[in-house]
Amino acid sequence: MTTSPKPAFSGTLTVVLGIGAVQGCWLYWLHWSTRINDWPAGSPTWFLPLLALGIFIPTGIQLVLLDRFRGRIAWVVLALLTGLIAALSAYQGWIASPGLSDGSFFRFPFWAAMTAIAFISLPFLQTRLATNTWTHYASLFRYSWQNALFLMEAALFTGVFWLLLLLWEQLFALIGIRFFRDLFYDPLFSYPVTAIVFSGALKLVAARENITLLLRRHALGLLLWLLPLVAFIAALFLAALPFRGLSSIGKAGVSTAMMLWTITFLIQFYNAAYQDGESPPPYPRALRTILRIAVVTLIALGVLSFYGLSLRVSQHGWSVSRVWAAAASALGLLYGLGYAAAAWRSEPWMGAMGKVNTYMALACLGLLLLLLSPMLSPHKITVDSQVARLLDGRTKAREFDYNYLRFSLGNPGLDALAALAKNETHPDKETIRGLAQTALAKRYAGDRVDVGVEAIERKLVVIPAGTAIDASFVAFLKANQQNPGIVPMCAHYLDQEACRVFSIDLNRDGIPEILAGSGWETGAFSKRDGTWKRIGGFNLSGAEIERAYVQGKIKAVASKWQDLEIDGKRYRITPLND
């Protein structure tokens, strides 16, 4: 009696659960470090790679174990993947290192990119282990869908498991027993148990692979019938576009995102129809021909997404999200060109799509690695773009978003701010240096930084230019610098624009008062008995006063309506139409 050979190393339930236990304890340790504010939580350069490795590597090993894990090649690939994840995560952690108030800027792109890298890489390894070749498309297709469905089913199982635990603790809470609530919500319990249950669910799902295969066929069998609809929507949109003009795309800030979503749906539904390429989709012959032609909509949408993106970049420069959108647009356009080439092949239907998908998977992998590395970092590209717009005058010094560099672009942004704080070449270098220093001094984006007594005088712009300002007024501002209720905001906060100072006699006593302000508020100050006091203010900006003076349209006018005095108190009318 003979038995079929077994793989050199297979994923027994004990091994899979053991990996899950190690993963759970690893994640608990990282969580605990955040609770006690100890290493590695205080260092994103260490914490982020340790977290990424704790999530992706055990899960990847488990997925490979479910099928086979033989040969040195598996260890080499997983070691390479571990090194890549660690290096890329460490770089992203370095970007976020300098105590940012909100590190969310890298969360979705980073984790989505890391998930994509792992999701693309594993099927190539699994295919190599199963077929001794890296690019057997039917195997790549099978493992891609198998991994996705295994993970979704295991996640669903784990979710239901936790619902039962919540039911458990709620039932006992009804009779006053809180022990289970305290136990289930304790991270020392929840992290290891969740990881172990998820691992066990993966093994259970893999043991019923036929059901997963049936589920995949059923899902794709339904999705392929949505391809004609999405192709019709895309074609109808492109047909209507010439009658509305490209300007409508330029006005929409979300135009590129809409194009990319349409491209994504088209690619996914074309793949649902093609599947592993071993048999044509069950469309009528005429519909298959129409869908061959419809692949040109992918090219058109890719070009339009680049056009919409280029308009935003020309208006506002690069941002992190625009760099990611440009990368997605490039991939969408390449997919369109590849599918168009595949459509020329008469039989089988879209026959070269398998090769296109294989090459595009490698292209996606390479591009993601570049985007997460210093070579094509969206943060560096954004910093260079925004600073260039400031230095060449496309963005005015007072309109530039210094907080964006400080709080959204990490270390590259901080380095750029430090350089701007020492700028010696820009015509408005004083403004740039001051606002850059203000942003650097902030701990949070909403912080207001005081001007400082010695800097007040540099904030004053006298109207008309060259006019001397009363030294006692400057001394008054310095003496009251810490009281924004007295001094104008522009003399109190460094991020306010310069204070326009204008002398005018408001009460016809022959002694001029001073108006000083910026933005929307201008204070009025009068010298009484040798001492300056704030007498009120106007709801107009210093810039409006300066513009009115240049145009010769400013003067003091007596009030048309007199005040009302009641029991020694004066009340001033606020006219609706004066």
Residue type, 58: P
Report strand pairing: 499-504 vs 531-538: unpaired
DSSP states of 396-449: -TTTS-HHHHHHHSHHHHHHHHHHHTT--SSTTHHHHHHHHHHHHH-SSTT---
The rounded distance, in Å, linking the Cα atoms of 63 and 77 is 14
The rounded distance, in Å, linking the Cα atoms of 81 and 58 is 12
Spatial CA neighbour of 234 closest among 313, 303, 315: 303
Angle between helical axes of 227-244 and 296-316 (0-180°, round to 10)? 50
Three-state SS letters, 45-101: HHHHHHHHHHHHHHHHHHHHHCCCCCCHHHHHHHHHHHHHHHHHHHHHHHHCCCCCC
- What are the beta bridge partners of residue 245? none
Spatial CA neighbour of 271 closest among 330, 348, 212, 356: 356
Spatial CA neighbour of 305 closest among 343, 359, 250: 250
Is residue 416 within 8 A of residue 383, CB to CB? The reply is: yes
Cα 120 to the center of its chain, rounded Å: 22
**What is the pLDDT tens value at each position of the chain, 578 positions in all?**
444 444 433 457 888 899 999 999 999 999 998 888 788 887 888 999 999 999 999 998 888 877 665 667 888 888 898 999 999 999 998 887 664 444 444 577 889 999 999 999 999 988 988 888 898 999 999 999 999 999 999 999 999 999 999 999 999 999 989 999 999 999 999 999 999 999 999 988 888 878 888 888 888 888 889 999 999 999 999 998 888 777 666 554 557 888 899 999 999 999 888 888 778 888 888 998 898 899 999 999 999 998 888 888 988 899 998 999 999 999 999 999 999 988 877 667 777 888 999 999 999 999 999 999 999 999 999 999 999 999 998 988 878 888 888 888 888 999 999 999 888 888 888 888 888 888 887 776 655 555 566 567 777 888 887 777 888 888 888 888 777 678 787 776 665 667 888 888 888 888 888 888 876 678 888 988 888 888 888 877 777 777 887 788 888 887 777 888 787 777 777 666 54
Spatial CA neighbour of 486 closest among 528, 526, 534, 448: 534
Is residue 125 within 8 A of residue 77, CB to CB? The reply is: yes
Q: Give 245's contacts (C-beta < 8 A, 6+ positions apart).
A: none
Is residue 129 within 8 A of residue 77, CB to CB? The reply is: no
Q: Taking phi first (over 0 means left), then psi (-120 to 50 degrees means alpha), and beta for anything else, what does residue 37 get? A: left
Angle between helical axes of 137-174 and 187-207 (0-180°, round to 10)? 140
Question: What is the DSSP-derived secondary structure letter of residue 565?
Answer: E
Answer positive or negative: Cα dihedral of 344, 345, 348, 350.
negative
Q: Helix, strand, or coil here: 534?
A: strand
Spatial CA neighbour of 365 closest among 113, 83, 77: 113
